[in-house]
Amino acid sequence: MSRFLPTALAVVLSVAGQQGQAGTPVSVTADGWTVTADAETGLLSIMHDNLGTVMEKVQLNLQGVHALRALKGWTATKTGSKQLLLRTSDPPTSWRIDWDKDWLKISSTSTSRLWSQRCQLPRSALSLD
């Protein structure tokens, strides 16, 4: 019986949820989607097998009075086979990402939630009238 204990413990730990700590991005892949949250950089990436990169290096924010307020103190936890839970400590918020084959949903506990992403455009794409 004692030789089965390490195997049973390993199975329980892997099912209990994967939590990202600083320097360890959490990535969940299911139904063609790959969602990755990097707690150290505070960035989120979403990819799809057929669509390619959907969102990359996305920063979660709250709308402040005059500007966006970046969220700090991330933790990322795999809470299901198709679910990722993000929590921030400054300010305290929770974000949940759920998906299935044909859809992806991002929910938050804050009503002033926003996400932002920096994009590089070639100079030719800018209209300088």
Q: What mean pLDDT is reported for the chain?
A: 77
> Please, is 79 exposed, middle or buried when counting C-beta atoms within 10 Å of its C-beta (0-12, 13-18, 19+)?
middle
Domain that holds residue 40: 18-118
Give yes or no for residue 100 having a pLDDT over 90. yes
Total domains, the chain: 1
In a domain, 7, yes or no: no
Residue-level pLDDT at 30: 96
> In the chain, what percentage of residues exceed pLDDT 70?
68
Q: Which two tokens stand for residue 89?
A: 């400590």
The model carries a pTM of 0.70
Cα–Cα distance between 129 and 121 in angstroms, integer? Answer: 17
In a domain, 109, yes or no: yes
In a domain, 103, yes or no: yes
Residue-level pLDDT at 18: 46
In a domain, 63, yes or no: yes
In a domain, 24, yes or no: yes
Residue-level pLDDT at 11: 30
Residue-level pLDDT at 118: 61
In a domain, 10, yes or no: no
43 CB-near residues (< 8 Å, 6+ apart): 37, 57, 58, 59
